[in-house]
Amino acid sequence: MQGNGFKIGLTIFFVGLCGFYLFPSVQNLYVNYKMSNMEEAERVEYQEENRQRLNNLERNSLSLGLDLQGGMHVTLEVEVANLLDQLAVNQDEAFQDALQTARQRAEQEDVSVVEAFVEEFEAANPDGRLSRYFRNEAQGQGQGQSQEITRRSSNSEVQEYLQAQAESAVQNGIEVVRNRVNQYGVTEPSIQQQGSERIVVELPGVNERKRVRDLLESASQLSFHLMANPQQLQESVQRIIDYYEPTAEDSARIAEANAADTADTSAGPADTSGTAEGTQLAASEQEAPNDEGATALTEPGEGETGPQNPLLAAMQPMPRQDQPVFGRVFASDTAKVNELISKREVKKMLPPGIELMWTANSRFTTEDGREALQLLAVQAEPELAGEVVTQASVQFDRQTNEPKVSITMNSEGAREWDRITAANVGNNVSIVLDNLVYSNATIQTRISGGRTEITGLDSRQEAQDIVTVLQSGRLSTDLNIISERTVGPSLGEASTRAGFISVISGFLLVVLFMIMYYRTAGVVADIALLLNVILILGILAGFGATLTLPGIAGIVLTIGMAVDANVLIFDRVREEQATGKTLRAAINAGYEESLSAILDANITTFFVGVILYSFGVGPIKGFAVTLMAGILSSLFTAIIVTRIVFDYMVEERRMSVSYG
């Protein structure tokens, strides 16, 4: 028994580790059970009070796959071929042919579009230089550009450049998808890159297939938009608030309050001083701490009595004479406001050609850490497409050392920009990507020559964010759904139940069979089996894997196959006993002699698991993971744990163990 100290220690360590990882899951189950027994009101209150803790529990628990909890699993692909088409200038027939063939090849073979394109082009034009299509040295100074392609760049340099562009398009796609999903308001969405051109989006609990498809597939393009006239906008805001007003008296009260507000806030836009010669836009930030609008941002609707205006309950209007701001909304309330402002009657009340758009990042955080977004009134028609931007970078003001964004446009864009800024000095302009406003600023002066600066920014980070959007959003990223799997909530529930019943009944039947067949030794094998299931779940929780239906099938299968190692050992012990050995000698021989067969048999199955994992997609990976986890833990429990028990029974307690 002395030599078993290490084994016992190891067992306790593993079991403890699994217990540690499984603890949140068990707690979560308990909390959910408790909440399901509460009254509706009580539950809401409980959730409010323990929001932080509940979120933590949820995050650390063993998560269920979409096939069990219901939801959508969408695989998107970035159209790299279209990207090449957009990037290339001076396109000729050779280019079009190579791109066309590459497109087809990428569909049938395991090759990326960029690789196939370069290969095809080189095969068709042995002396051709790709650099003639992708030169970019004339446009910018190379700064901020990922790579510079000159007339003399080799084809492999161009290939590298194209790959980098494709990579950034995928990154941009992920960013776009994340923003869209956040706007949609899903709890715990997962957005991941798969391979070089694909994005996998998992939306638990979502069943509105059409809406999600439209949301994910629509093309995104960076553009510059003029914004609504603030005075005109204020009239619209008032009309819309009135529209939602429940009673006449309440309406009057709110109108009065708003009128007072409007009169109070007459402060101009942020930083207009130090205007440089003809390049200036000032970012429109109203974040001064003593700003009326900012300090007024409390929990809306708090302390109100009587019928509430649903819009004012979710949104804080921001009446300002000079800014096209519709209102401020807590991030958690955006879905509510979206619903209210998407009504057709309400849209009609906005000034003609104006659309409401959210700011991309929460610029305001209230004292208790809640994020708030602004709703801005933007002209729906873009003035200028983002592709005119050739370069964008963060710079610092020489005197004040404040961060600013410097933008360079191509000659065509510069001409348009000159015209637009000349006609709109004092008006607002916004940088929009995918219906989200990333930056809005006031045009300070007519900007000729194509070099623009955005000043009055808060932080280097803000400047950097704008630059990132300008750089990555120049090119439109087309996303296509190439696979979609959705499971409705009731089917998911049925699958969970079926999986649970299978695990329990499979376990019980195998346990009974083992006891019937091997008596005392069977009981020991059953203890090992129970431990085995706990270890598998612990391994899954520890590695943050999700439990899918095929994963549960893997566990059930493991329950049946895991006893094999013990069957091998026990049968060997019986054989050894039959040759006349003592119990102790028979046990020793049984474990020793069967080890090679157990290892050989399990290693091969483990290899199968590894291969399934590397080539499988989605749910199959879940099966492979549980299969591998099952093999590892069953080897451990069947060889080490049962041995400890037998040693204890035979050597310490001098018991006689029946092998049936």
Q: Candidates 23, 243, 513, 648: give the one binding other proteins (CB under 8 A).
A: 513
Count of CB atoms within 10 A of residue 618's CB?
18
CB of 553 to other proteins, least distance (A): 6
**Using the rule CB under 8 A, is 48 a contact of other proteins?**
no
Helix, strand, coil percentages, rounded to 5, for the chain: 55, 15, 25
Tell me if 178 contacts other proteins by CB under 8 A.
Answer: no
Q: Is 619 in the site for other proteins (CB under 8 A)?
A: yes
Is residue 69 involved in binding other proteins (CB under 8 A)? no
Minimum distance of other proteins from residue 546's CB (angstroms):
16
Asked if residue 607 binds other proteins (CB under 8 A), the reply is yes
Rounded Cα–Cα distance for residues 211 and 217 (Å): 10
Nearest approach in angstroms of CB 567 to other proteins is 5
Q: Residue count at the site for other proteins (CB under 8 A)?
A: 75
Tokens describing residue 23: 């603890």
- Least Cβ distance, residue 521 to other proteins (angstroms): 12
Find the binder of other proteins among 118, 377, 627, 628 (CB under 8 A).
Answer: 627
| Min dist. Cβ of residue 597 to other proteins (A) | 4
Please report whether residue 494 would count as binding other proteins according to CB under 8 A: yes
CA angle 407, 410, 412 (to 5 degrees): 130
Contact between 478 and other proteins per CB under 8 A: no
How many CA atoms lie within 13 Å of 81's alpha carbon, on the beta-carbon side? 20
What is the rounded distance in angstroms from the CA atom of residue 589 to the CA atom of residue 569?
Answer: 9
Residues 6+ apart with CB under 8 A from 279: 445, 447, 449, 451, 452, 453
Task: Write the CA distances from 370 to 291, 302, 329, 331, 618, integer angstroms.
Answer: 18, 16, 10, 8, 35
Tell which one of 46, 243, 244, 517 touches other proteins (CB under 8 A).
517
Is residue 596 part of the contact set for other proteins (CB under 8 A)?
yes
For position 608 contacting other proteins by CB under 8 A, the verdict is yes
Q: Which of residues 91-110 bind other proteins (CB under 8 A)?
A: 107-108, 110
Least Cβ distance, residue 347 to other proteins (angstroms): 24
Buried b vs exposed e over 468-479: b needs ≥16 C-beta within 10 Å?
bbbbbbbbbbbb
Which span sits near other proteins by CB under 8 A: 147-155, 349-357, 435-443, 475-483?
475-483
**Which of 361, 605 has the CB closer to other proteins?**
605
Candidates 117-125, 310-318, 371-379, 606-614 — which segment interacts with other proteins by CB under 8 A? 606-614
550 binds other proteins (CB under 8 A): yes
Stretch that binds other proteins, among 265-273, 383-391, 563-571, 579-587 (CB under 8 A): 563-571
Q: Decide: is 32 part of the binding site for other proteins (CB under 8 A).
A: no
Q: How close are the terminal C-alpha atoms of the chain, in Å?
A: 24
594 within 8 A of 572, measured Cβ to Cβ: yes
Contact string 213-252 vs other proteins (x = CB under 8 A): x---------------------------------------
Among 509, 544, 655, 658, binds other proteins (CB under 8 A): 509
374 touching other proteins, by CB under 8 A = no
Nearest to 539 by CA among 643, 608, 631: 631
Q: How far apart are CA 649 and CA 643, in angstroms?
A: 10
Helix (H, G, I), strand (E, B) or coil at 199: strand
DSSP 5-46: HHHHHHHHHHHHHHHHHHHHHHHHHHHHHHHHTS-HHHHHHH
579 binds other proteins (CB under 8 A): no
Calculate the alpha carbon distances from 132 to 91, 145, 402 in Å.
9, 18, 40
Q: Using CB under 8 A, which of the segments 36-44, 79-87, 206-214, 226-234 binds other proteins? A: 206-214
Question: Which one, 394 or 529, has the nearer CB to other proteins?
Answer: 529
Q: How far is the CB of 577 from other proteins (least distance, A)?
A: 11
> Considering the complex, what minimum distance in angstroms separates the CB of residue 483 from other proteins?
5
Which one among 55, 617, 651, 652 touches other proteins, defined by CB under 8 A?
A: 617
β-strand partners of 355: 378
If one asks whether residue 516 binds other proteins (CB under 8 A), the answer comes out as yes
Task: Work out how close the CB of 191 gets to other proteins at its nearest, in angstroms, rounded to a whole number.
Answer: 18
Residues 217/222/223/228 CA torsion (nearest 10 deg) = 70
Supply the minimum distance, in Å, between the C-beta of residue 210 and other proteins.
5
Indicate the residue among 181 and 627 with the shorter CB distance to other proteins.
Answer: 627
The one-letter code for the residue type at 413 is: G
Is residue 40 near other proteins by the rule CB under 8 A? no
Distance (Å, whole) CA 32 – CA 26: 10
Query: What's the min distance (Å) between Cβ of 545 and other proteins?
Result: 16
| 192 interacts with other proteins by CB under 8 A | no
**How many other CB atoms are there within 10 angstroms of residue 300's CB atom?**
21
Contact window for other proteins (CB under 8 A) among 134-142, 370-378, 504-512, 532-540:
504-512
- Kindly report the three-state secondary structure assignment for every residue of 471-491: HHCCCCECEEEEEEEEECHHH
Of 296 and 515, CB closest to other proteins:
515
Can you tell me the distance from the alpha carbon of 319 to that of 260, in angstroms, rounded to the nearest whole number? Answer: 10
Based on CB atoms, which residue is closest to other proteins, 106 or 392?
106
Which two structure tokens, joined as six digits, stand for 135?
Answer: 């030169």
Q: Which of 568, 587, 638, 639 binds other proteins (CB under 8 A)?
A: 568
Helices in 73-112 by DSSP H: which ranges? 80-87, 93-108
User: Of the candidates 600, 653, 654, 656, which one interacts with other proteins according to CB under 8 A?
Assistant: 600
Please say which residue, 330 or 623, places its beta carbon nearer to other proteins: 623
C-alpha–C-alpha distance, residues 199 and 478, integer Å = 12
Binding mask 629-658 for other proteins (x = CB under 8 A): ------------------------------
**Tokens in use for 366?**
């209230």
Of residues 276, 266, 416, the one with CA closest to residue 429: 416
